[in-house]
C-alpha cells in the first residue's frame, strides 16, 4: 500500500489489516522516538476533525509535520496542485495528506513519487472517514455481513455516503438511504431508498449526514425545523430504533437539524467514539503507507 486515494486502492484483506492495526493501536499512545519522516498536510477546505486527527496521528507516530498554509502559499499566485506537491516532495517530505474541493484531484498527481493520502476530495471520496466508520461498526457488531446501515440526509453531495456505500456493500452489509428525493443519487443509492420512519425501525446503524450547503446550487432550500421534522432523527423517532442500534455522524453536527441535540451524546450515539477512532485509523494508514513497524515504534499505555 503506497497511497490511499480511494478505498479501491485497498483489497478487503488490506482493509481488514488496517482495522486490526487500528484496534491494536488503542493500547499504545506515543512513539518511543521520532521516525525522522516528514508528512505535509494540505487542507484546501475547512476541517476540524480530519485535520486535527491527522496531526495527532502524526504526533503520536513520532513524525514531523509540515503545516501548509494555503492562504499564504504560491497557490495564491496560480501555482498548480502538482507543482505544489512536487515542491514538497523535493524539499524532503515523505508523504502528503490532502483535502481538496476538486473531485478526484489526485488524478493530477500521477508524477508524484511519495504517498498521497486523500483526506477528502469534493463530493468524491473520504477513505479515512469510511475506515473509522468501519472500525466503529466493527467494534459494535464484530461483523459487517447482514448489518443494516441506513445513510440519511444529503446523499448526492456527500463523499461520506459514496465511500461508505461502496465499501459496506462489498463487506456484506445491507445499505439503505433516506432523505429528500432531490438529494438522492441513483449511482449511490441503487434504488434502495426508504423513509426516515421506515429507517429508524429497520436500521442497526443510523448514519446521519450534514446538509452540504457549500456544494448546493441554491435550488433546494430547507428550513432547519422543517427538515428536522420531515427527515431528521427526532427524539420520538429515536425511541423506535432497535434496542442495540447505534447512531453515527461524520460531524460537524448541525444540532436539531439532522438529529436532535439531545441525541448527540445519548447512550446509543457513537459520534465521539468515531472521532477517537479517527486518530487510530489515521495512525494505521500512515504507518502502512510509510512502512512504520509498530513493534519498533509505540509506547504502551499503562
Q: Which tens digit of pLDDT belongs to each residue from 223-238? A: 888 999 999 999 999 9
**Helix (H, G, I), strand (E, B), or coil: what is residue 100?**
strand
Residue the block writes with cell 511519495: 114
Say what the pLDDT of residue 266 is. 98
Q: Would you say residue 117 lies in a domain?
A: yes
Q: Would you say residue 186 lies in a domain?
A: yes
Domain match, 132 and 262 both: yes
Domain match, 180 and 201 both: yes
Domain match, 17 and 69 both: yes
Say what the pLDDT of residue 277 is. 97
Q: What is the DSSP string of 194-233?
A: --HHHHHHH-SEEEE----GGG--SS----HHHHHHHHSB
| Those residues with Cβ within 8 angstroms of residue 117's Cβ, 6 or more apart along the chain or in another chain | 3, 4, 95, 96, 97, 98, 128, 285, 286, 289
Q: Would you say residue 2 lies in a domain?
A: no
Domain match, 163 and 234 both: yes
Residue 103 · residue 44 · CB < 8 Å: no
Say what the pLDDT of residue 287 is. 93
Q: Would you say residue 212 lies in a domain?
A: yes
- Residue span of the structural domain in which 216 resides: 127-270
Q: Would you say residue 99 lies in a domain?
A: yes
Domain match, 143 and 263 both: yes
Domain with residue 112: its CATH number is 3.40.50.1370
Domain match, 182 and 262 both: yes
Nine-digit cell string for 34: 521520532
Domain match, 224 and 133 both: yes
Q: Which residues of the chain have pLDDT under 50?
A: 296, 302
Say what the pLDDT of residue 110 is. 92
229 a known binding residue?
Answer: no
77 a known binding residue?
Answer: yes
**Helix (H, G, I), strand (E, B), or coil: what is residue 40?**
strand
Q: Would you say residue 135 lies in a domain?
A: yes
173 a known binding residue?
Answer: no
Say what the pLDDT of residue 212 is. 77
Classify strands 95-100 and 38-43 as parallel, antiparallel or unpaired.
parallel
Say what the pLDDT of residue 284 is. 95
Domain match, 186 and 76 both: no
129 a known binding residue?
Answer: yes
Q: Would you say residue 295 lies in a domain?
A: no
Q: Would you say residue 301 lies in a domain?
A: no
State how far the alpha carbon of 43 is from the alpha carbons of 40, 68, 100, 102, in Å: 10, 8, 7, 12
Domain match, 75 and 100 both: yes
49 a known binding residue?
Answer: yes
- How many domains does the chain divide into? 2
Domain match, 89 and 218 both: no
**Cα 264 to Cα 2: distance, rounded to the nearest angstrom:** 36
pTM: 0.93
Say what the pLDDT of residue 172 is. 97
Say what the pLDDT of residue 219 is. 62
Say what the pLDDT of residue 137 is. 98
Domain match, 166 and 255 both: yes
99 a known binding residue?
Answer: yes
Domain match, 232 and 113 both: no
Amino acid at each position: 500500500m503506497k497511497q490511499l486515494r480511494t478505498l479501491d486502492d485497498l483489497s478487503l484483506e488490506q482493509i481488514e489489516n488496517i482495522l486490526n492495526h487500528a484496534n491494536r493501536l488503542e493500547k499504545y499512545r506515543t512513539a518511543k522516538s521520532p521516525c525522522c519522516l516528514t508528512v505535509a498536510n494540505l487542507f484546501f477546505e475547512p476541517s476540524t476533525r480530519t485535520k486535527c486527527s491527522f496531526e495527532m496521528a502524526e504526533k503520536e507516530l513520532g513524525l514531523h509535520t509540515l503545516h501548509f498554509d494555503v492562504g499564504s502559499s504560491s497557490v495564491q499566485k496560480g501555482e498548480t496542485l502538482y507543482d505544489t506537491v512536487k515542491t514538497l516532495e523535493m524539499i524532503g517530505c515523505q508523504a502528503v495528506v490532502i483535502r481538496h474541493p476538486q473531485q478526484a484531484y489526485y488524478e493530477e498527481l500521477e508524477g508524484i513519487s511519495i504517498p498521497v493520502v486523500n483526506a477528502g476530495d469534493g463530493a468524491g471520496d473520504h477513505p479515512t472517514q469510511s475506515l473509522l466508520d468501519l472500525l466503529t461498526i466493527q467494534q459494535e457488531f464484530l461483523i459487517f455481513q447482514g448489518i443494516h446501515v441506513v445513510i440519511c440526509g444529503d446523499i448526492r453531495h456527500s463523499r461520506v455516503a459514496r465511500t461508505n456505500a461502496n465499501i459496506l456493500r462489498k463487506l456484506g452489509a445491507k445499505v439503505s438511504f433516506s432523505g429528500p428525493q432531490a438529494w438522492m443519487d441513483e449511482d449511490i443509492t441503487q434504488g434502495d431508498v426508504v423513509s426516515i420512519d421506515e429507517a429508524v425501525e429497520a436500521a442497526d446503524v443510523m448514519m446521519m449526514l450534514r446538509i452540504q450547503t457549500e456544494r448546493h446550487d441554491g435550488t433546494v432550500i430547507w428550513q432547519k425545523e422543517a427538515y428536522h421534522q420531515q427527515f431528521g432523527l427526532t427524539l420520538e423517532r429515536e425511541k423506535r430504533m432497535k434496542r442495540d442500534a447505534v447512531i453515527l455522524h461524520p460531524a460537524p453536527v448541525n444540532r436539531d437539524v439532522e438529529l436532535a441535540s439531545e441525541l448527540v451524546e445519548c447512550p446509543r450515539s457513537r459520534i465521539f467514539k468515531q472521532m477517537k477512532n479517527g486518530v487510530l485509523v489515521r495512525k494505521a494508514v500512515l504507518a502502512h503507507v510509510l512502512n512504520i513497524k509498530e513493534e519498533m515504534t509505540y509506547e504502551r499505555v499503562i
